[in-house]
Amino acid sequence: MNGNTLKYSRITGTGSHLPPRRLSNADMVADLAQRGIETSDDWIVERTGIRARHFAAHGVTCSDMAVDAARHALEAAGRRPSDIDLIIVATSTPDMVFPSTACLVQQKLGAFGGAAFDVQAVCSGFVYALTVADSLIRTGAATRALVIGSEIFSRILDFDDRTTCVLFGDGAGAVVLEASERPGLLASELHADGRHVEILCVPGTVAGGKVTGNPLLRMDGQAVFRLAVNVLDSVARAVLAKAGKTEADIDWLVPHQANIRIMQGTARKLKLPLDKLIATVHEHGNTSAASVPLALDVAVRDGRIKPGHTVMLEGVGGGFTWGAVLLDL
Ligand code: UT7
Using one digit for the tens of pLDDT, what is the confidence trace for 258-317? 999 999 999 999 999 999 999 999 999 999 999 999 999 999 999 999 999 999 999 999
Atom of ligand 1 nearest to the CA of 168: 1
Q: How confident is the model at residue 5 (pLDDT cuts 50, 70, 90)?
A: low
Asked if residue 74 and residue 174 are part of one domain, the reply reads yes
287 pocket-lining for ligand 1 (C-beta < 6 Å): no
C-alpha triplet 102, 105, 108: angle, nearest 5°: 155
Write the CATH number for 162: 3.40.47.10
Q: Tell whether the model's pLDDT for residue 254 goes beyond 80.
A: yes
Asked if residue 65 and residue 121 are part of one domain, the reply reads yes
Burial class (CB within 10 angstroms; exposed 0-12, middle 13-18, buried 19+) of 219: buried
Asked if residue 201 and residue 173 are part of one domain, the reply reads no
Asked if residue 115 and residue 129 are part of one domain, the reply reads yes
**Last-in-domain residue among 183, 217, 244:** 183
Residues assigned a catalytic role: 123, 256, 286
The residue contributing the CA closest to ligand 1 atom 47 is 39
Q: Give the mean model confidence (pLDDT) for residues 220-238.
A: 97
CA distances from 279 to 118, 174, 175, 294 (A): 26, 17, 18, 10
Asked if residue 162 and residue 209 are part of one domain, the reply reads no
Asked if residue 96 and residue 40 are part of one domain, the reply reads yes
Asked if residue 256 and residue 145 are part of one domain, the reply reads no
Asked if residue 153 and residue 211 are part of one domain, the reply reads no
**Last-in-domain residue among 183, 218, 242:** 183
Asked if residue 135 and residue 10 are part of one domain, the reply reads yes
258 pocket-lining for ligand 1 (C-beta < 6 Å): yes
Asked if residue 219 and residue 71 are part of one domain, the reply reads no
pLDDT recorded at residue 111: 84
pLDDT recorded at residue 3: 45
Per DSSP, helices labelled H in the chain are 25-34, 41-48, 62-77, 101-109, 125-138, 162-165, 221-243, 260-269, 281-284, 291-301
47 pocket-lining for ligand 1 (C-beta < 6 Å): yes
Mutate to test the pocket of ligand 1, among 47, 256, 291 (most ligand atoms within 8 A of CB): 47
| Tally of domains in the chain | 2
pLDDT recorded at residue 1: 44
User: Model-level pTM?
Assistant: 0.97
Q: Which domain holds residue 246?
A: 186-328
pLDDT, tens digit, 9 for 90 and up, residues 114-144: 999 999 999 999 999 999 999 999 999 999 9
The residue contributing the CA closest to ligand 1 atom 14 is 221
**Last-in-domain residue among 141, 167, 183:** 183
